[in-house]
Amino acid sequence: MSTSTSLHRDDGLDGKVAIITGGASGIGQALAVAYARAGAASVVGYFPGDPHDVAETVRLAEAAGGRCTAVAVDVRDPLQVDALAQDAIEEYGRLDIAVAGAGILRRAPLAELDDRAWNDMLSVDLTGVLRTFRAAAARMTGPGAMVAISSIAGGVYGWDDHAHYAAAKAGVLGLCRSLATELAPRGIRVNAMIPGLIETPQSLDEVNSLGPAGLEAAGNGIPAGRVGRADEVARAIRFLTGDDSAYVTGQQLIVDGGLTVRWPE
């Protein structure tokens, strides 16, 4: 028996089907690969305006021995989100897992944070999660698992010039807790992932986030001695959607290398 086959049987993901929003790069891309290695198929949603080529996600997942389909989706549009979930049914015959990872990050001091910027952020980073989970729940015919990607900003800390982002990410936690209680009778678990400082295209953005230099400097203040990698978060999400976490729902898992527990210096 091969090692990969043993892993498939251990985590219960072999043969399962997942939808992943925000799958063109970063954590979403790493998750599609992680599921491929576990024997699960993925339908990855990508925003058409994303500069990253989602074909690379499909290529990496297939190279890992899995099945992966890419579907264009704007999570601000409920019809497109419904179509993403329906594609999983039409392509693979089932839907077991939903991971809401689509998100935007925009720097905006309070004086510049108008209603349009606020509403756009929440429509993607918070309501986009609701739309994804609602569409998935409508198509899950048996037990399932859902994970929303929150952030250390809002999920744990505040972040100046990013009040709308932090508010959306904090809202994700309340949404997951409430849906966890509502969907538990159907055997559907709902949890939130709170990544710390992770090197992704989003965090490498010098305009709206820390940028390469800022990430490198921040890594010195993390007990692990570095910022995290997208695949490290992806494997934690895989855990939250596999059989090893069968009795875990309504929780928040922080993956941050110890950043939030270090005594301030």
Per residue in 228-239, pLDDT tens? Answer: 999 999 999 999
Assign 10 a pLDDT band (cuts: 50, 70, 90): low
Of the given ranges (17-26, 101-110, 193-202, 233-242), which has the lowest mean pLDDT? 193-202
Residue 187 lies in a domain: yes
Instruction: Read off the pLDDT of residues 100-159 as tens digits, 9 standing for 90 and up.
Output: 999 999 999 999 999 999 999 999 999 999 999 999 999 999 999 999 999 999 999 999
Residue 106 lies in a domain: yes
Catalytic residue among 92, 157, 165, 247: 165
Residue 103 lies in a domain: yes
Look up 92 and say whether it is catalytic. no
Residue 108 lies in a domain: yes
Of the given ranges (18-32, 124-138, 204-218), which has the lowest mean pLDDT? 204-218
Assign 4 a pLDDT band (cuts: 50, 70, 90): very low
**Mean pLDDT over the full length of the chain:** 93
Residue 253 lies in a domain: yes
Q: How many domains does the chain have?
A: 1
More confident residue, 223 or 2: 223
Burial tier of 218 (Cβ tally within 10 Å: 0-12, 13-18, 19+): middle
CATH number at residue 170: 3.40.50.720
Instruction: Read off the pLDDT of residues 32-57 as tens digits, 9 standing for 90 and up.
Output: 999 999 999 999 999 998 889 999 99
0.85 exceeded by the pTM?
yes
Residue 205 lies in a domain: no
Of the given ranges (2-6, 181-185, 190-194), which has the lowest mean pLDDT? 2-6
pLDDT of residue 5: 42
Residue 88 lies in a domain: yes
Assign 89 a pLDDT band (cuts: 50, 70, 90): very high
Q: Which domain holds residue 74?
A: 3-196+230-257
